[in-house]
Amino acid sequence: MNKRYEDLEELMSTGEAREVKRAMAVRMSLLGFVRAEVALACCVSVQFVDKWKAIYLASGVEGLKLAYKGSPGYLKPREREDMINWIQEKKTITMEELKRYLKEEYDVFYSSNTSYTKLLEEANLSYKKTHKENSAKDEVKVKAKKKEIKDLIDKEREQIESGEIMYWMQDESHQLWGDICAYVWSKKGERTSIKMNNYRTSQTWYGAVNIYTGEFILDRAKKADTKYMIDFINWLIYRYKEARHVIIWDGASYHRSEGLRTYLEKLNGGLPESEWKVRLLRFAPNAPEQNPVEDIWLQGKNWVRKNFHRLSSFKEVTSMFETFLSGKVFKFNKIKQYLIPNI
């Protein structure tokens, strides 16, 4: 093939509109134009350019035509079974990896991603977002801590059910005005903006969920430190004067500060541990997913993002967040698992 790519020129002259656009994008790319320039000239995305260039290189100009159904090769029943087994052996796989393997091993190339997606679904894989996980997380410690909490709850179940003892899982959240930005459907070629004076304007929240009732309580604070942590505990005690409280949280520095220890010694007044007004437990380190309050914060922030169009100030942002979460009851599995024996 010469450098003019005459087969592409012919398709550009005789093909239908979509075929012409594909051929033009591929030809410009092969002639050395930058991908962004090609996309701009053809009014397409960079991904469009990459996709049809790859198809052309694999299947020639026939691959750019609307009637093209893929390469002549199709997976035979036994080959398809082997292919499914190969996919299932992998923990994760990309579409490009699957395409490359099919092409190299079976000389099969599909023009539509749907065919590849069906293979992945048949292998019982689903498309999902990856999640970050701390490499220092120790699963043995996580399981041991979960058992410790469950054993303690089982031991005090009668007092929990009567309201004499309240178990709380607690956490803090820092809400930024910029957090309101999210993905939305909007007109192509138009930028969707949210006006804000300072996207780093923030609000600190203290929250706790009652592990037995699912009640969630929420309070504002200027920042997360020992002083405001003690203020939150005092507020909790004031709301439920007759109860003793067990607070389960992470290992933040202000959760184990000297000031907090002094406060607790004074509050509990030398009583035996079983009679303390407030007891503290920590989750296993480096595993924030243990705490259901993390999921509650996410629900609140997602609600605000969905309603961004109704908000014109950070005061309205925090007000919507507070209104959505205050007084809600959360009884999802991450909470229930501590109340159900032998899980």
Mind giving me the DSSP string for 194-254? ---S-TT-EEEEEEEEETTT-BEEEEEESS-SHHHHHHHHHHHHHHTTT-EEEEEE---GG
How would residue 68 be classed by pLDDT, with cut points 50, 70 and 90? low
Classify domain 139-337 by CATH architecture: 2-Layer Sandwich (3.30)
* Number of Cβ within a 10 Å radius of residue 19: 19
How far is residue 244's CA from residue 252's CA, in Å, rounded to a whole number?
23
Q: What angle do CA 324, 327, 331 make, to 5 degrees?
A: 95
Domain boundaries, the chain: 6-64, 77-123, 139-337
How far is residue 140's CA from residue 242's CA, in Å, rounded to a whole number?
37
**Does the structure show a pLDDT above 70 at 5?**
yes
pLDDT digits (tens, 9 = 90+) for 145-194: 999 999 999 999 999 999 999 999 999 998 887 777 655 455 556 655 55
Picking from 305, 7, 341, the residue whose alpha carbon sits closest to that of residue 150 is: 341
Per-residue tokens: 290: 């243990």
Let me know if 341 is exposed, middle or buried by CB neighbors in 10 A (0-12, 13-18, 19+): exposed
pLDDT digits (tens, 9 = 90+) for 210-254: 999 999 999 999 999 999 999 999 999 999 999 999 999 998 898
pLDDT digits (tens, 9 = 90+) for 100-139: 888 767 777 776 777 888 888 888 887 665 555 566 678 8
- Angle formed by the axes of helices 113-122 and 95-106, to 10°? 90
Picking from 153, 201, 209, 137, the residue whose alpha carbon sits closest to that of residue 175 is: 201
How would residue 340 be classed by pLDDT, with cut points 50, 70 and 90? confident
